[in-house]
Structure 1
Amino acid sequence: MASNPPAPTAPFVPSQRTDTFGYGEYRSDEGPWEEWNPTEDSLRPARGRHRVSKQRGGGLARSSTVLGVGVIAAVGAGGMASANTGKPPVSISLPDLPSVGSLLGDDGHGAKAATATLTHVGVATAASDQDSTDAGEALRNRIMAQAEQQQSQVDGRATAAAVAAAEKQSADAAAKAEKAAAAKAAAAKEQAEATAKKKAEAERLARLAEQYTLPTSSYTLTSTFGEAGSMWSSGYHTGLDFAAPTGTLIKAIHSGTITEAGWAGSYGYRTILTLDDGTELWFCHQSSINVKVGQKVGTGEVIGRVGATGNVTGPHLHLEVHPGGQATGIDPMAWLRGKGLTP
């Protein structure tokens, strides 16, 4: 395998520089340096192997080695900090070195200075990590505060909704209770009014009963108003029959004036008592009459006796009621009950 020819050896020329590479006096081991001008052939890599040109002079090599180790250490420290803390890498800035030779002196002071510089770099990295931690903690606290505020708002809305629902439920219950109370009060009022009305009607009937009386006693009701039958000329019964023995007393139901007293064909002997309101009371089939026309009678006064005159099947009093003197009568049973009487 062919290889590149070695680089030509530059001629040695003593250096006439009197200044030093770093701080301090001139040192013999730092020079003089020979001048080397690289060519294209000297820089071309050798095929099949890697060749590293040898640095001439020991001072610069040591400086480069120490500097490289320091940079690697610093970068490693930064990487370890990034790996340990989980935070993004922090940029590392190296201080300007005024003189490599001063850092790499034989007395060891240069190594101490490099160590001190790298130590400061580590401190700066730690400070940056602390700042990142503080920023992350501040962000976390802000997020937690926002979450707590949102939760408080949600809780507030839920509480407001619950309060509104409770108030509505309470209002509905109050309205329902008020409605029920109103209905109960109305029912109680209606019942009280009905009771009062019933009581008033009973008192009225009691007063009327004192003014009215049944037409006879010791009787049996045999035929009522409206019964159909061929024995009545109208085709139905027009009054109320009180069956009683012949001669049983017939009394005036209410006070009034006698407007008729005598024979009335199929009614037999009949007496008509006209009340003050114009109502006519017909007492029929009497065996005898004890009053005369125009006579004033009072409630309970005897006006005749039970008989079997006219169209009858047995002794009884046939009573008819004609309001206003009209020809057609009404049910005597209902009329008597309306006066507080119970036949």
Structure 2
Amino acid sequence: MASNRPAPEAPFVPAQRESDTFGYGEYRTEEGPWEEWNPTEESIRPVRGRHRVAKQRGGGLARSSTVLGVGVIAAVGAGGMASAHTGKPPVSISMPDLPSVGSLLGDDTSDAPAATTASLSHVGTASAESDHSDAGEALRNRIMAQAEQQQSKAETKATAVAVAAAAAEKQTADAAAKAEKEAAAKAADAKEKAEAAAKKQAEEERLAELAKQFQLPVVSYTITGTFGQPGSMWSSGYHTGLDFAAPTGTLIKAIHGGTITEAGWAGAYGYRTILTLDDGTELWFCHQSSINVKVGQKVGTGDVIGRVGATGNVTGPHLHLEVHPNGQATGIDPMTWLRGKGLTP
């Protein structure tokens, strides 16, 4: 290992002290006198791996100590800058207070090296901490942004799934309601049709049963006049009955069982027979050529009560039939009444 050569010894001249050195007004021990000291092989022992400067004698510093202080300050600044660039936390280096350095520089800034060192250390540390803080904050913001994006996607997907489920549920409910409504409508229609069919069947059965009790007054005929026809031939201005045209002498039979309440001449009606049924309905058989019953006689369905003729106000032989419910003067349509009894003229 290399070592420093011994420097040539210089004559020792004690430093002269001025009474107002550095403006203290009195003598201070740290102001000198100093002696210049250069290390030699005897004064410095080599240390494995690095050199170590031996402790200075007398507490004084020469020009070399000034250089050493400035070098340390530069090293500290360089260390701070390196720490800022490498991203590693800097090592804080404290610099001892060296008033002798300031005194050698010849100004009042004896604390400048220590302040500069502390300032550089602080700047390096603050810069590194700022970089760490900025990098951590950026990483944190990036992670939070990714998390928020993932959460937003998850919420959007969940919302879409919920909307689809709600739409499917609504569609299912609508389909079920529509099917139920259609089923109810079909059931109601089927019920209505069934009721109508049952009612029709019951009416047919009733009319069939009535048809056994009622019959048409003439077997062979032609309908030549209906109820309500207008014309001057009738005193009322319209036809008041139903005309069955048939040859003179054709048998006239009782439509239903009842009692003969009138039998004889009736003016414009010619020879007329009135058959009163048990419910009070009067059946008028007019324009007969002859009458085969008398008043008060009981007849049954199909009994002969007279014959077709052309008596009264007529234009030819026919049976003029009128129906008067409860014996009232104004009659009703015989066609409708006969159909209500299961008969079709």
- Please classify the TM superposition score into its range, dividing by the shorter chain length: 0.5 to 0.7
1:27 Cα offset (Å): 7.8
Q: Please name the residue that 1:81 is paired with.
A: 86
Q: Please name the residue that 1:275 is paired with.
A: 277
**Which of the numbers 257, 261, 264 marks the counterpart of 2:263?**
261
Identity %: 63
Matches within 5 A, 1:147-296: 147-296=149-298
Q: Please name the residue that 1:312 is paired with.
A: 314
- Which residue identity is paired with 1:297? V
1:280 Cα offset (Å): 1.0
Tell me how large the CA RMSD over aligned residues is.
Answer: 3.9
Q: Please name the residue that 2:54 is paired with.
A: 24
Aligned 8 A contact 1:19 1:26 in 2:
no
Q: Please name the residue that 2:116 is paired with.
A: none
**Which of the numbers 331, 335, 338 marks the counterpart of 1:336?**
338
2:318, 2:298 → 1: CA distance? 25
Change (3 A) 1:307 1:12: same
Report the 3-state secondary structure (helix = DSSP H, G, I; strand = E; otherwise coil) of the residue aligned with 1:222: strand
State which drifts further: 190-199 or 67-76: 67-76
Report the 3-state secondary structure (helix = DSSP H, G, I; strand = E; otherwise coil) of the residue aligned with 2:146: helix
Q: Deviations over 1:5-63 (max 9, x none)?
A: xxxxxx962876689899536689x9885xxxxxxxxxxxxxxxxxxxxxxx4x23542
Q: Please name the residue that 1:94 is paired with.
A: 93
1:142 Cα offset (Å): 4.6
1:32, 1:137 → 2: CA distance? 51
2:242, 2:141 → 1: CA distance? 110
- TM-score scaled by structure 1? 0.67
Q: What are the ranges of 5 or more consecutive residues in structure 2 without an aligned counterpart?
A: 1-12, 17-31, 39-51, 99-123
- Which residue identity is paired with 1:186? A
State which drifts further: 313-322 or 184-193: 184-193
1:342, 1:68 → 2: CA distance? 138
Q: Deviations over 1:293-320 (max 9, x none)?
A: 2222111121111111222111111111
Q: What are the ranges of 5 or more consecutive residues in structure 1 without an aligned counterpart?
A: 1-10, 34-56, 100-121
Aligned 8 A contact 1:291 1:304 in 2:
yes
Report the 3-state secondary structure (helix = DSSP H, G, I; strand = E; otherwise coil) of the residue aligned with 1:321: strand
2:61, 2:314 → 1: CA distance? 181
Q: Deviations over 1:266-308 (max 9, x none)?
A: 2222111111111111111111222222222111121111111
- Which residue identity is paired with 2:54? G
2:55, 2:174 → 1: CA distance? 104
1:231 Cα offset (Å): 2.1
State which drifts further: 324-333 or 259-268: 259-268
Matches within 5 A, 1:102-113: none
Q: Please name the residue that 1:70 is paired with.
A: 75
Aligned 8 A contact 2:36 2:61 in 1:
no
- TM-score scaled by structure 2? 0.67
Report the 3-state secondary structure (helix = DSSP H, G, I; strand = E; otherwise coil) of the residue aligned with 1:195: helix
- Which residue identity is paired with 1:63? L
1:185 Cα offset (Å): 2.0
Equivalences, count:
280
1:283, 1:25 → 2: CA distance? 167
State which drifts further: 182-191 or 210-219: 182-191
Q: Please name the residue that 1:113 is paired with.
A: none
2:55, 2:68 → 1: CA distance? 17
